[in-house]
């Protein structure tokens, strides 16, 4: 019992309910823990219940071992749940990674096909494409020149007024 005294003190609030279930005649005042003195506690329980000291100590030992066993089971269950969650996350990441890789590969194929088609068009009709490029450049030059002259004309108009 002395070896479990510290464990008993640490878990007393949780164990108090079990003690009250076993000995319903005990009050909260009877089960008050005074300065870590287990002898006083056991003496009060003996006095109120008529139980022998050895039986009370044996009951406390049983409660402590059950509590330790439940704690061990809880820790093991939490560990298993964490392991399962980690495995599920890894599987999900792996699936997403595979899907993203497939999509990227598909996109690369499409871009490659489109580039190949555009290249073939330019190779088959180079004169038309050079003319189209020249026309686009010519129009861009006209627009830039017109914009530049309009801005210049506005600036000159403002000077006179």
- CA–CA distance, 100 with 111 (Å, rounded to integer): 16
Summarised one tens digit per residue, pLDDT across range 125-144 is: 888 888 888 899 999 999 98
> The whole model's pTM is what?
0.39
Q: In the predicted model, what is the mean pLDDT of residues 74-95?
A: 80
Q: What is the pLDDT of residue 34?
A: 61
Summarised one tens digit per residue, pLDDT across range 18-62 is: 888 888 888 888 777 666 677 788 888 888 888 888 888 888 777
- Which runs of consecutive H residues, i.e. helices, occur in 23-125? 38-49, 53-124
User: 13 or 121, which is more confident?
Assistant: 121
Q: What is the pLDDT of residue 132?
A: 86
- CA–CA distance, 37 with 22 (Å, rounded to integer): 21
Q: What is the pLDDT of residue 157?
A: 65
């Amino acid at each position: 019992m002395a070896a479990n005294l510290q464990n008993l003190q640490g878990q007393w609030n949780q164990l108090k309910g079990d003690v009250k279930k076993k000995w319903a005649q005990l009050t909260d005042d009877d089960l008050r823990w005074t300065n870590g003195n287990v002898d006083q506690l056991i003496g009060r329980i003996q006095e109120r219940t008529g139980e022998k000291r050895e039986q009370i100590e044996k009951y406390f030992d049983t409660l402590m071992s059950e509590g330790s066993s439940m704690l061990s089971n809880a820790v093991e269950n939490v560990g298993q749940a964490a392991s399962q969650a980690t495995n599920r996350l890894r599987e999900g990441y792996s699936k997403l990674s595979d899907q993203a890789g497939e999509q990227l590969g598909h996109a690369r194929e499409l871009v490659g096909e489109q580039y190949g088609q555009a290249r073939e068009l330019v190779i088959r009709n180079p004169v038309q494409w050079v003319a189209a490029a020249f026309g686009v450049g010519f129009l861009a030059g006209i627009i830039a020149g017109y914009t530049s002259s309009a801005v210049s004309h506005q600036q000159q108009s403002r000077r006179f007024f």
